[in-house]
């Protein structure tokens, strides 16, 4: 659940451009597959997935009025195909092991502090634990020498944020033009938009912007 | 049934992909591994790709190996950041030190065409004095090359890539007009220009390696803004669509999905090779062991060129150690892997009440080199700064992992995406021998020891960063930006790990990029830079490769190769 934020680009959906010159075959192939990300985990076990869902709800809270971006499932997919950054600190294990250890450690910390698993805590308690992780203040033995601060920044935050903003819903929300090949952009100046870009709602109401955005192809 | 460029080599059976026509092929000469070719080149990026082309066009027999895939941009590239991480070197590496460097998507490509497939196309010449930094400016090291020679090679590369640039370039000695006209400015670039004018310093349209007019079978830039994730329209003049097709047309063979593991060296028989200087040297490189299609092979060659950029090049030399070369090849100076140097890439960001929508067009359409040419500073070195246009995933990473936002604060900040405006530097860090690439104990998927990269900023680096952040903040304030914040930890590019010099005790290669110890072993990439300057390195790497090719021709003609 998240605070109410009026939509800045009401009625805009990048997916309406799927068959426009802004999308090429490869883009359609890739985004279609992302939209079909399985809801059953293939890397995490069920409990781990639930925990990642709980973490994602705190890191990238989503409005209830639309279908959620499957952040935890996207992180699961990344680990399933073992996509890696290509570098790590010496005291950091690689992506898959880092996540498994991090989730186990977070639950151990949660048990120690509240007698319950992380996913069962109230959101304020979850935020407090995540903040302590971010500050490097979690030292349970199950971290196994992996610094909680590094795990938070390089894995938890990075992978959850990457997952959220890899999804078309996020692009629509932020008023991003989205895929653009071979049709790119013509009007690049201040306060300029091409007809296939979203219009921003003005202070005097969203109706005009909504009308424009619903017609975008 | 489309092929799989990650598992099935495309440079095979006498043909290479024709990157200008979907599904099409061009004929490619094919050598046998036991043909002793004139040159085997490891890496096909700004250094190796350029050199392969120029050597082949000069009539030498060339085999170029690349660990990465041979992409067909028109078909393989999606408008999607997550998908396009396939362009980067994401094999395991350790990064450590006081200020660990981000690798992977930040500065390491893995593809035929190397890092030029994902680069930002900023094509700048060195300030002439930088070639004699120590003598003229009192810091760093002198290059053993005169700037006037490089000026000619810069021109050659600018012509070869049809660089789109301004009519008059505000800094440095007069240069000819850029081959193609400059690109128009997007709002982010206009914001940089207005800030510079408010502060009374010059600015310019950025000279860019992306077309502003048609060229051959390549189309002008459509301003789609996905440059850093690969150009799907072939406007970007990467090595993949410029030097490589020329190289193949001239008779070079390029082998993709070919990971070099070891350079083989043979002991000198009788007298040392002409020009050898170190004890135990006079040895010759005789070829390269590489893994392709699941088995190790050996390509024989009269000369070996290493062009894997500043981490993979020293790694290969170190991994090629033998009993006679216990510290790796070409390493009598002990400097292979040392002086690893990145460039400062700090930024300042703010919000405009106007819509910027900076995702349109190349990320850096305007820049200023004022602080590269003005020496009224209390630190050594210089920096340029340029406008920015981060795509959503990258921007979200910056807002979270750099700025520290998550939860509601992050979601609120991301809503302002279309109003964000930023300025980012490419700045000169000083070379320290303590910043280095060594071999770690872990091995990669090929069974090779992985690189360990250590980096710590020095006081001069911090002074440069402080100056740049303060100045860019003023520039944003001058245009009325609000909510200004500083991104303090970011670096870009790499250099220095096989430094060039005129003394074999203090350098790895000479001015011809030839290693002192093994005279038929060359390095042709950013590893040879003794200093980085305050500009993006790609133009200088390509210019050096053109010079090296000319030197090879001259030496060969005199029988000195």
Cβ–Cβ below 8 Å for A86 and B225: no
Taking an 8 Å cut-off on Cβ atoms, the answer to whether A3 and B359 are in contact is no
Residue A40: other Cβ atoms inside 10 A: 9
Query: What are the sequence ranges of the domains in chain B?
Result: 15-557
Residues of B in contact with A34 (CB under 8 A): 82
- DSSP class of B331: -
Q: Which of B90, B396, B418 sits opposite A161 (nearest CB)?
A: B396
Nearest to B355 among A134, A170, A190 (CB): A190
What residues are paired with B453 via a beta bridge?
B95, B437
Taking alpha carbons only, the member of B320, B316, B314, B274 closest to residue B508 is: B314
Consecutive 10-residue averages of pLDDT for chain A (217 residues): 76 98 98 97 98 98 96 98 95 96 98 98 98 97 97 98 98 98 98 98 90 95
DSSP-derived 3-state class of residue B180: strand
In CATH, B15-557 is 3.50.50.60: yes
Q: How far is CA B529 from CA B310, B401, B470, in A?
A: 10, 31, 29
State whether A177 and B359 contact (CB < 8 Å). Answer: yes
Who among A61, A158, A182 is closest to B397 (CB)? Answer: A158
Contact A88 B222 (CB under 8 A): no
Q: Tokens 């002074």 sit at which residue?
A: B463
How many Å lie between the alpha carbon of B553 and the closest alpha carbon of chain A?
38
Looking at the complex, does the CB of residue A6 fall below 8 Å from at least one CB of chain B? no
Beta-carbon contacts below 8 Å between A and B: 197
pLDDT at A203 (0 to 100): 83
Distance, in angstroms, between B400 CA and closest chain A CA?
Answer: 7
Question: Would the CB atoms of B400 and A157 count as touching at under 8 Å?
Answer: yes
Q: Which residue in B82, B357, B452 is closest to A193 by CB distance? A: B357
- How far apart, in Å, are the Cα atoms of B76 and each of A168, A186, A210, B496? 20, 24, 35, 33
* Digit-coded pLDDT (tens) for B69-95: 999 999 999 999 999 999 999 999 999
Decide if A83 and B90 are in contact by the 8 Å CB cutoff: yes
Between strands B204-205 and B62-65, the pairing is unpaired
Which of A86, A183, A191 has its CB closest to that of B104?
A86
**Rounded Cα–Cα distance for residues A184 and B28 (Å):** 33
B interface test, pick of A61, A165, A183, A195 with most B CB neighbours within 10 Å: A165
Selected for mutation to probe chain B from A6, A161, A194 (highest B CB count within 10 Å) is A161
Residue A124: its chain B contacts at CB < 8 A?
Answer: none
Query: Any CB–CB contact under 8 A between A203 and chain B?
Result: no
Q: Which residues of B202-224 are buried (b: 16+ CB within 10 A; e: fewer)?
A: ebbbbbbbbbbeebeebebbbbb
**Distance, CA of B244 to CA of B16 (rounded, Å):** 10
CA distance B364 to chain A (A): 13
Matching residue, tokens 């196309």: B121
Unique residue bearing structure tokens 């996509």: A83
Q: Cis before residue A182, ω within 30 degrees of 0?
A: yes
Residue B328 — left, alpha, or beta (φ > 0 → left; ψ -120 to 50 → alpha)?
left
Option in B81, B187, B226 nearest A166 (CB) = B81
CA distance, residue A116 to nearest chain B CA (Å): 22
Q: Using 50 as the pLDDT threshold, list the residues of chain B that sit under it.
A: 276-280
Residues 66-125 of A with CB under 8 A from B: 83-90, 94
From the list A34, A180, A193, the residue facing B226 with the nearest CB is A180
Binding-face residues of A in 13-32 toward B, CB within 8 A: 22-27, 29-31
Q: Which residue's structure tokens are 């971010």?
A: A134
Using CB atoms, pick whichever of B85, B397, B408 lies closest to residue A61.
B408
d(CA B380, CA B153): 27
Largest Cα–Cα distance of chain B, in whole Å? 76
Contact A186 B77 (CB under 8 A): no
pTM comes to 0.97
Q: Which residue of B has its CA nearest to A193?
A: B357
Q: A201 to chain B, minimum CA–CA distance in Å?
A: 12
Q: Distance from A113 to chain B by nearest Cα, in Å?
A: 22
């Amino acid at each position: 659940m998240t605070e109410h934020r009026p939509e800045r680009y009401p009625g805009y959906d990048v997916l309406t451009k799927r068959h426009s010159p802004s999308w090429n075959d490869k883009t359609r192939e890739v985004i279609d597959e992302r939209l079909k990300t399985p809801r059953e985990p293939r890397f995490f076990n069920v409990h781990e997935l639930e925990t990642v869902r709980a973490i994602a709800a705190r890191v990238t809270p989503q409005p209830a009025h639309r279908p959620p971006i499957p952040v935890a499932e996207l992180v699961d997919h990344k680990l399933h195909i073992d996509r890696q950054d290509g570098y790590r600190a010496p005291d950091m294990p690689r992506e898959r092991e880092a996540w498994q250890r991090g989730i186990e450690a977070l639950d151990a910390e949660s048990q120690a502090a509240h007698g319950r698993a992380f996913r069962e805590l109230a959101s304020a308690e979850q935020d407090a634990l995540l903040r302590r992780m971010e500050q490097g203040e979690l030292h349970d033995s199950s971290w196994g020498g992996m610094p909680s601060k590094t795990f938070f920044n390089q894995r938890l935050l990075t992978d959850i944020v990457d997952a959220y903003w890899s999804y078309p819903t996020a692009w629509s929300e932020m008023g991003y033009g989205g895929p653009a090949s071979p049709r790119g952009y013509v009007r690049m100046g201040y306060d300029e938009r091409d007809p296939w870009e979203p219009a921003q709602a003005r202070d005097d109401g969203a109706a005009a912007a909504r009308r424009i955005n619903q017609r975008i192809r | 049934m489309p092929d799989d460029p990650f598992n099935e080599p495309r440079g095979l059976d006498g043909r290479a992909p024709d990157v200008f026509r979907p599904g099409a092929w061009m004929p490619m000469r094919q050598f046998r591994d036991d043909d002793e070719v004139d040159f085997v080149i490891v890496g096909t990026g700004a250094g190796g790709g350029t050199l392969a082309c120029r050597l082949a066009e000069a009539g030498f027999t060339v085999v170029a190996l690349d660990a990465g895939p041979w992409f067909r941009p028109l078909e393989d590239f999606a408008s999607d950041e997550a998908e396009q991480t396939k362009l980067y070197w994401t094999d395991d590496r350790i990064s450590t030190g006081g200020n660990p460097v981000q690798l992977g998507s930040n500065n390491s490509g893995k593809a035929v065409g190397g890092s030029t497939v994902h680069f930002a196309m900023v094509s700048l010449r060195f300030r002439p004095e930088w070639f004699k930094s120590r003598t003229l400016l009192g810091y760093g090291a002198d290059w053993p090359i005169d700037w006037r020679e490089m000026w000619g090679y810069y021109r050659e590369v600018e012509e070869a890539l049809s660089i789109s640039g301004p009519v008059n370039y505000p800094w440095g000695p007069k240069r000819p007009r850029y081959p193609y006209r400059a690109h128009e400015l997007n709002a982010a670039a206009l914001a940089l220009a207005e800030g510079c004018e408010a502060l009374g310093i010059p600015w310019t349209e950025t000279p860019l390696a992306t077309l502003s007019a048609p060229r051959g079978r390549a189309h002008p830039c459509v301003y789609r803004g996905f440059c850093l994730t690969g150009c799907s329209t072939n406007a970007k003049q990467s090595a993949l669509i410029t030097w490589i097709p020329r190289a193949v047309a001239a008779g070079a063979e390029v082998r993709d999905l070919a990971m070099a593991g070891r350079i083989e060296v043979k002991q000198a028989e009788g007298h040392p090779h002409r020009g050898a200087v170190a004890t135990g040297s006079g040895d010759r490189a005789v070829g390269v062991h590489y893994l392709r299609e699941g088995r190790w092979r050996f390509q024989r060659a009269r000369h070996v060129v290493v062009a894997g950029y500043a981490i993979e090049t020293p790694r290969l030399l170190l991994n090629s150690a033998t009993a006679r070369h216990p510290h790796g090849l070409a390493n009598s100076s002990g400097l292979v892997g040392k002086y690893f140097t990145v460039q400062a890439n700090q930024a300042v960001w703010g919000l405009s009440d106007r819509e910027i929508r900076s995702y349109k067009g190349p990320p850096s359409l305007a820049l200023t080199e004022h602080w590269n040419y003005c020496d009224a500073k209390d630190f050594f070195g210089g920096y340029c700064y340029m406008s920015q246009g981060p795509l959503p995933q990258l921007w979200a990473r910056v807002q979270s992992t750099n700025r520290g936002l998550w939860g509601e604060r992050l979601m609120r900040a991301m809503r302002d995406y279309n109003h964000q405006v930023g300025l980012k530097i490419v700045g000169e860090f000083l070379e320290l021998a303590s910043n280095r690439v060594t071999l770690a104990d872990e091995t990669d998927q090929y069974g090779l020891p992985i690189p360990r990269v250590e980096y710590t900023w020095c006081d001069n680096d911090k002074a440069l960063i402080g100056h740049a952040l303060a100045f860019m903040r003023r520039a944003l304030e001058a245009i009325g930006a609000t909510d200004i914040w500083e991104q303090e930890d970011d670096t870009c590019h790499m250099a220095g790990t096989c430094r060039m010099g005129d003394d074999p005790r203090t350098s790895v290669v000479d001015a011809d990029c030839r290693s002192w110890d093994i005279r038929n072993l060359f390095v042709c990439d950013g590893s040879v830079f003794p200093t980085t300057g305050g500009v993006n390195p790609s133009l200088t790497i390509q210019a050096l490769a053109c010079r090296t090719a000319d030197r090879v021709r001259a030496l060969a003609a005199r029988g000195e190769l």
